[in-house]
Amino acid sequence: MLGEGILKGLTETARNFFGSFVSPERLTTVQYPEERIAPFEAARSFPFLVFDAKNPGDDADWLAGLRCVSCHICEKECPPKCIFIEKSKDKKPDALGKQQFYPTRFDIDISVCMSCQICVEVCPFDAIKMNTVFELSTTDRFGGLLLDRQQLAQSNEYYHQIHPTEAAGVDEMRAAEKAKADAKAKAATEAAAKAAAAKAQAAQQPAGGAQS
């Protein structure tokens, strides 16, 4: 029927309008900023860097626990080119105990960022995720919207607060990877110990030879 879609839309609008007088669930507007609605778990605004807190009382703990290994993948894949990374010359151990590079500079220009989440999708280390904070207005048009690595750093606990389901899945996957790496390292250590024991045993045996 011609105009059926328009009639359905008007009906839904009328249902919400009149229903708002009798049902709080129909109230779709709040008096912001006095009233606020908690963001949905799937909400996203701008990226942040995840770090694993080892010493919560240490102000420099965010740097020691950063998951980012400065691989530059997110910088290369970013459509508006708003990520700027500089790699360190030395290395530090990551969550698996492997020596990795880390970013000496990691900036995101949120005045350019389009919140596409591509940086999150391509990161192989689960080091960058999407925040839910949206009140980031500032009077400093340039410097105030260029966030450095310390401003971007948020703990894994914070990640669990804003995206609990997603964070739980990431932790489970990372735990499985760590268990696999630990098992591989243990097997290598045991194999090396067995090889060393066999070599020592062979060295202790007398050399065979002809007797007169």
Residue 77 counted as domain residue = yes
Residue 111 counted as domain residue = yes
Residue 110 counted as domain residue = yes
50-56 mean pLDDT: 80
Phi, psi (degrees; rounded to nearest 5) at 103: -80, 125
- Alpha-carbon distance of 66 to 50, in angstroms, equals 6
Say which residue the tokens 């060295």 belong to.
Answer: 203
* pTM across the whole model: 0.76
Residue 53 counted as domain residue = yes
pLDDT band at residue 59 using 50, 70 and 90 as cut-offs: low
> The domain spanning residue 82 has which CATH number?
3.30.70.3270
Q: What is the DSSP letter of 207?
A: P
pLDDT band at residue 193 using 50, 70 and 90 as cut-offs: confident
Question: What amino acid is encoded at 43 in this protein?
Answer: A
Residue 200 counted as domain residue = no
Largest interatomic CA distance in the chain: 116
Cβ atoms of residues 132 and 45 within 8 Å = yes
Most confident stretch, 36-40, 86-90, 189-193, 201-205: 86-90
Q: Is the pLDDT of residue 210 over 60?
A: no
pLDDT band at residue 127 using 50, 70 and 90 as cut-offs: very high
- Alpha-carbon distance of 180 to 186, in angstroms, equals 10
Residue 61 counted as domain residue = yes
Higher pLDDT, 120 or 206: 120
Shortest CA distance to 104 belongs to which of 150, 55, 58?
150
- The per-residue pLDDT for 212 is 46
121-145 mean pLDDT: 91
Cβ atoms of residues 124 and 166 within 8 Å = no
- The per-residue pLDDT for 109 is 95
Q: How many CA atoms lie within 13 A of 97 on its CB side?
A: 9
Count of Cβ atoms closer than 10 Å to residue 52 Cβ: 17
Give residues with Cβ within 8 angstroms of 177, minimum separation 6: 96
Q: Is the pLDDT of residue 203 over 90?
A: no
Residue 82 counted as domain residue = yes
Q: What is the DSSP letter of 66?
A: B
Q: What is the mean pLDDT of the chain?
A: 87
Considering its fold, how many domains does the chain have in total? 1
Residue 9 counted as domain residue = no
